[in-house]
Structure 1
Amino acid sequence: MFTEAIEAILVDQCAPAAIRAIENGGSATPLWGALAESGFLELMASEEAGGAGLDLEAIFPIFVAFGRHAVPVPAAQSIAARALLGDVAAPQGMVTLIGHARRSDDGSVSAGNVAFGAIADHAVANIEGQLVLLACAGAQRTLTGIRGSLAASLHWTSDAIGTPVGDNGDQVAVFSAALHAAAIAGAMERMFSMTLGYCNDRVQFGKAIGKFQAIQHQLSVMAEHVACAGVAAELAFKAGKKIPPLLAAATAKARTSASVPLVAATAHALHGAIGVTEEFDLQLYSRRLHEWRMADGSEAYWNRVVGETMLGGTAPSVLQFVMEEILA
Structure 2
Amino acid sequence: MTVPVVDPDLVELAASVFADATDDNLWDTLEQTGLARLAVAEDAGGSGGSLLDLAAVLVEAGAAAAWAPLAETDLACRLAATAGLEVPAGPLTFALDAPLSVDRDTVSGTLARVPWGRSAAAVVALGGGSVVVLDPATATVVEGTNVAEEPRDTLTWSSAAATVAAAPDGAAAEFALRAALSRSLLLAGAARGALTRAVGYAGEREQFGRPIGRFQAIQQQLALAAAEVAAGGAAAESAARVVVRDGITAPTAELAVAAAKVRTGQAATEVARVAHQVHGAIGFTREHDLRLTTTRLWAWRDEDGTDGDWAQRIGDLTLAAGADGLWPLVTA
Place the TM-score, normalised by the shorter chain, in its bin: 0.7 to 0.9
CA deviation string 1:231-256 (max 9, x = no partner): 11113313357758433222211211
Q: Which residue of 2 is the match for residue 138 of structure 1?
A: 138
Work out whether residues 45 and 52 of structure 1, in 8 Å CA contact, stay in contact via their aligned partners in 2. yes
CA-atom RMSD in angstroms:
2.6
Overall identity of the aligned pairs, in %: 33
Deviates more, 1:308-317 or 1:181-190: 308-317
**How do residues 44-83 of structure 1 correspond to structure 2 at under 5 angstroms?**
44-49=39-44, 51-83=46-78
Q: CA deviation at 1:6?
A: 2.7
TM-score (norm 1): 0.84
Q: CA deviation at 1:33?
A: 1.5
Distance, in Å, in 1 between the alignment partners of 2:159 and 2:321 is 39
Q: Structure 1 residues 225, 185: closer, same or farther in 2, change over 3 A?
A: same
Q: CA deviation at 1:281?
A: 0.4
CA deviation string 1:174-199 (max 9, x = no partner): 22211111111111111101101111
Work out whether residues 87 and 122 of structure 2, in 8 Å CA contact, stay in contact via their aligned partners in 1. no
Q: Which residue of 2 is the match for residue 292 of structure 1?
A: 300
Distance, in Å, in 1 between the alignment partners of 2:148 and 2:162 is 30
Q: Structure 1: which 4+ aligned runs deviate by more than 6 Å? A: 104-107
Q: CA deviation at 1:307?
A: 1.3
Distance, in Å, in 2 between the alignment partners of 1:137 and 1:53 is 29
Match of 1:200 among 200, 203, 213: 203
CA deviation string 1:232-290 (max 9, x = no partner): 11133133577584332222112111222211111111101111112210011111111
SS in 2 for 1:62: helix
**How do residues 154-173 of structure 1 correspond to structure 2 at under 5 angstroms?**
154-164=155-165, 166-167=167-168, 168-173=171-176
Distance, in Å, in 2 between the alignment partners of 1:66 and 1:323 is 30
Match of 1:34 among 29, 32, 43: 29
Work out whether residues 58 and 71 of structure 2, in 8 Å CA contact, stay in contact via their aligned partners in 1. yes
Matching of residue 222 in structure 1 with residue 219 in structure 2:
no
- The residue type paired with residue 13 of structure 2 is A
Matching of residue 98 in structure 1 with residue 91 in structure 2:
no
Q: Structure 1 residues 217, 317: closer, same or farther in 2, change over 3 A?
A: farther
Q: Structure 1 residues 236, 128: closer, same or farther in 2, change over 3 A?
A: farther
Work out whether residues 126 and 132 of structure 2, in 8 Å CA contact, stay in contact via their aligned partners in 1. yes
Q: CA deviation at 1:218?
A: 1.0
Distance, in Å, in 1 between the alignment partners of 2:49 and 2:173 is 22
Work out whether residues 85 and 165 of structure 2, in 8 Å CA contact, stay in contact via their aligned partners in 1. no
Match of 2:13 among 5, 11, 15: 5
Deviates more, 1:44-53 or 1:215-224: 44-53
CA deviation string 1:79-104 (max 9, x = no partner): 34333333543311210122332347
Q: CA deviation at 1:161?
A: 5.0
SS in 1 for 2:124: strand
- In structure 2, runs of 5+ residues without a counterpart are 1-8
Distance, in Å, in 1 between the alignment partners of 2:255 and 2:124 is 22
Matching of residue 85 in structure 1 with residue 80 in structure 2:
yes
Work out whether residues 3 and 61 of structure 1, in 8 Å CA contact, stay in contact via their aligned partners in 2. yes
Q: Which residue of 1 is the match for residue 4 of structure 2?
A: none
Q: CA deviation at 1:50?
A: 5.7
Distance, in Å, in 2 between the alignment partners of 1:309 and 1:243 is 15
